[in-house]
Amino acid sequence: MNLDLTETQSLLRDTVRSYLEGELPYDRIRELEREGGYDQGLWKATAQQGWLGLPFSEERGGAGGSLVDLGLLVEEFARRAAIVPILEVAAIGRILDQRGEGCDELIAGILTGDALPVPALWEGAACDGELTVRAEQGTLTGAKAFVDYGQVATHHVAAARDGLYLVDTRTQGSECTPLRSIGRTPLCHVRYEGAPARRVAGPGAMAETIRLGRSLAAVQIVGAMQQALDMTVAYVKIREQFGVPIGSFQAVRHHAANMAIRIESSRLLAYEALDAIDRGAASDAQVAHAKASASRAAPEVTMLAHQLHGGNGIIEENDLYFYTLRAKEHSLAWGSFDECMAVVADQVHVDSDWF
């Protein structure tokens, strides 16, 4: 994979970054954390900018972008710690665009920012548990755990044994119980009691959703780590000790270099996974390896950032905490390090053509 961005991709990245820095102050993010909601204004603006159309085909009214393009968008939102379901809606929207049945109206709603569907996949603490939600006569019965943005979503795309089912959360039959998240973003446990639902994709769609979600979650971690590094480098350039900036000390430089190495290696694996998914060449092991790398790097990089900030790094008045908490949350979402490495281990015996 050629990691050099095209001119269009560079323009997309720079435009999104500039917009978020200008329109999303950190005080607004703190307010949303206290409220437990998501940034509805930013979500509508994202739709108006046309960014929500990136993962959708031109036939659906989208931009027909690649998954690498989508990854750049997700990374920039992570770099600003934005509380919007960009990963969740983009991942499930992409699957419905390619494999969905009768989803034209829903996708049109996503493009305008009026529909907010999120995946509801897991049923327990582990990501590989058996599916017990029952689909009977156009209804769903059962429970889903750890549904990101589930309580603010207009729809859930819930996994059952025979495929993915679309549930309109504005109708009776689904009850969301908000949970406290380490990243302070909306999260809930949802119970379906005969909730009206219709199947929108077959059994293989869940595995594809997991592959795409894991790859994008790795990108989110990369975005959070990169912002933590950028803030740290800026700080050590101005923080003085013994009359000189601490960034001039070799030990500090070594820490910063180690942070940069972990970030770049995780970025390479994450974007390679997205590119492989786009080409239909990705394996579960490749995607899990990318997510595991980012999940392992997240606490190492962010803790070094706090260490280099010293006492200034342990107060929430310092914006660094956004990225520590978000990176930790993303490292657990869509499969923790241990869960992803278990997927890799299952494929160790498979012969690989290294040439």
Does residue 298 sit in the same domain as residue 176? no
For residue 128, the model assigns a pLDDT of 67
Which pair of structure tokens corresponds to residue 218? 């790795």
Q: How far apart are CA 174 and CA 196, in angstroms?
A: 9
Q: Which amino acid is at 127?
A: C
Q: How far apart are CA 50 and CA 72, in angstroms?
A: 14
Of 115, 130, 152, which one is at a domain's C-terminal end?
115
CATH number at residue 258: 1.20.140.10
Does residue 271 sit in the same domain as residue 214? yes
Does residue 311 sit in the same domain as residue 219? yes
For residue 354, the model assigns a pLDDT of 57
Q: How far apart are CA 83 and CA 315, in angstroms?
A: 21
Does residue 190 sit in the same domain as residue 242? no
pTM score, two decimals? 0.95
Does 353 reside within a domain?
A: no
Is the Cα dihedral 244, 245, 246, 248 positive or negative?
negative
Q: Which of 277, 293, 226 is nearest to 91 (CA)?
A: 277
Does residue 211 sit in the same domain as residue 330? yes
Does residue 212 sit in the same domain as residue 342? yes
Q: How far apart are CA 209 and CA 29, in angstroms?
A: 28
Alpha-carbon distances of 207 from 124, 178, 181, rounded to whole Å: 17, 26, 25
- Work out the burial of residue 268: count CB atoms within 10 Å of its CB; fewer than 13 is exposed, 13-18 middle, 19 or more buried: middle
Which pair of structure tokens corresponds to residue 341? 């490495």
Does 354 reside within a domain?
A: no
Does residue 26 sit in the same domain as residue 111? yes
For residue 2, the model assigns a pLDDT of 75
Of 67, 100, 115, which one is at a domain's C-terminal end?
115
Does residue 220 sit in the same domain as residue 342? yes
Does 140 reside within a domain?
A: yes
CATH number at residue 103: 1.10.540.10
Does residue 80 sit in the same domain as residue 190? no
Total domains present in the chain: 3
Q: Which of 29, 160, 26, 164 is nearest to 94 (CA)?
A: 164
Rg (C-alpha) for the chain, rounded Å, is 20
Low pLDDT (below 70) residues in the chain: 125-128, 352-355
Of 203, 218, 233, which one is at a domain's C-terminal end?
203
Q: How far apart are CA 299 and CA 324, in angstroms?
A: 7
Which pair of structure tokens corresponds to residue 172? 């009776």
Residue 224 near residue 327 (C-beta atoms within 8 A): yes
For residue 351, the model assigns a pLDDT of 74
Which pair of structure tokens corresponds to residue 101? 């049945």
Domain that holds residue 85: 7-115
Q: Which of 151, 259, 166, 267 is nearest to 216 (CA)?
A: 267
